[in-house]
Amino acid sequence: MTNQQLYLFIAVPLLGNAVFFGLLMAYINAKVEGLRAEMNERFNGSNQSVSAQFQSVNVQFQAINQRFDDMRDMWRAELHRVEEVLDARLKHLEER
Query: What's the rounded mean pLDDT across residues 46-60?
Result: 79
- CA 65, 66, 71 angle in degrees (round to 5)? 95
More confident call, 1 vs 74: 74
Question: Are residue 41 and residue 53 in the same domain, yes or no?
Answer: no
Q: Which domain holds residue 6?
A: 1-45
Question: Are residue 41 and residue 58 in the same domain, yes or no?
Answer: no
Question: Are residue 34 and residue 53 in the same domain, yes or no?
Answer: no
Per-residue pLDDT of 2-17, as tens digits, reads 888 888 899 999 999 9
Q: Does the pTM exceed 0.85? A: no
Question: Are residue 7 and residue 23 in the same domain, yes or no?
Answer: yes
Write b or e for each residue in 61-94: b if 16 or more Cβ atoms lie within 10 A of its Cβ, otherwise e. eeeeeeeeeeeeeeeeeeeeeeeeeeeeeeeeee
The one-letter code for the residue type at 31 is K
Question: Are residue 53 and residue 93 in the same domain, yes or no?
Answer: yes
Question: Are residue 32 and residue 19 in the same domain, yes or no?
Answer: yes
